[in-house]
Structure 1
């Protein structure tokens, strides 16, 4: 059987922008299922891989979310302030190390055990990023700082503790529209909080 890689031939690549992250235009040929080769081009945004984590308290039936301003969402008609699970780019770290640090920076919680639950490509038509998804239980005693993110990186993050059932309702009523957060809440609904869906 022919390798899937053998069906793709990269012809050229051109850097369009290297300001914030890397935007390139690729020209390639793909062999279609009928055997014909077809030339195509795509713009590909490479911002590195990332990790995200949803903190939950099983006894209290609560989750820790963050609220922060996202300019790309703002220019697409939203007020820009999204409720999200904590997340960040790996920056050459392994996913578990990075997400522990990110949870501390954004939420102030120093979690003991993190559980890797799955990986996903979030926008595979244009962005290279693979996101590593984690969950972790938290206790009030594990909050060692106020969180809020890193000011020098432009972060001004509000920490939001929310009942799990309210978070599930917030998906339906449009208060939570961030894909990674929806995915992690659904994971909790199917696993840690099975039977707790509103």
Structure 2
């Protein structure tokens, strides 16, 4: 999963997921403009296995994270000619050795886009849990935690977070996502007693959703079950 090569950066002329726009507006009498992306809303699910007392996360390669790391660590070009060459369509990534694929790997909650008009948020969440993590969870067992805006400077999309308790009996497959959709996902288990250490370890690349959901669990579920999250 971490074997990343043959990297090329090309202009994005069309996309099924992102649509760039520029909005012009007036705020308190001052004319302004802002560039933004229109994209789908999403759902995420904090999964807790009551059999093993583990959180179930997903680990996957994120090209955007990888490219940010490459940009951050690459040697500075002596002039702008190299940058111009890289921006040409089909240009291979240059500027020294590319970072290993591991720098683009992130730990995340099970999640998916809200792109099926005929399904409720809960039904989409249930489908994602099954596809990515292999657990069959009834819609009625999904607890809505909250919703919030993500990428407020670029997309402003809304994500709705759910909580689901599963047991080993609910596991009906290996998960891993849908290969036909380009997904290559590793299912990862984080023991409950290591959760908060995991959340605050800056050396482990993770989304804010993981950190927030672990804190939510500590505040709302740990007292109920009289279990420790090692805080």
Q: Structure 1, residues 145-169: CA drift from partner, whole Å, max 9, x if none?
A: 1110010111111111220232321
Retained in 2: the 8 A contact 1:63–1:161?
A: yes
1:154 aligns with 2:182: yes
Q: How does 1:40-189 map to 2 (within 5 A)?
A: 40-58=32-50, 60-77=52-69, 79-91=103-115, 92=117, 93-112=119-138, 113-174=141-202, 175-189=204-218
Unaligned runs of 5+ in 1: 1-15, 32-36
Q: How many residues align?
A: 178
**Is the Cα contact below 8 Å between 2:134 and 2:172 reproduced in 1?**
yes
SS across alignment from 1:197: coil
Tell me how large the CA RMSD over aligned residues is: 1.8
Contiguous gaps of at least 5 residues in structure 2 = 1-11, 70-101
Distance 1:17 1:134 in 2: 34
Measured after TM superposition, the shift of residue 104 of structure 1 is 0.4
* Cα pair 1:24 1:45 within 8 Å, conserved: yes
* TM-score for both structures, normalised by structure 1: 0.83
Shift in Å at residue 18 of structure 1? 4.1
- Between the aligned partners of 2:205 and 2:135, the Cα distance in structure 1 is 22
Structure number having the greater helix percentage? 2
Deviations 1:133-155 (A, max 9, x none): 00010000101111100101111
TM-score by length of 2: 0.72
Structure 1 residues 197 and 167 mapped into 2: Cα distance closer, same or farther (>3 Å)?
closer
CA distance in 2, matches of 1:197, 1:38: 50
SS at match of 1:189: helix
Instruction: String of CA shifts for 1:37-83, please: whole Å, max 9, x gaps.
Output: 11111111111110000111346431101111001011122711111
Bigger Cα displacement from structure 2, 62-71 vs 180-189: 180-189
The alignment partner of 1:76 has SS state of helix
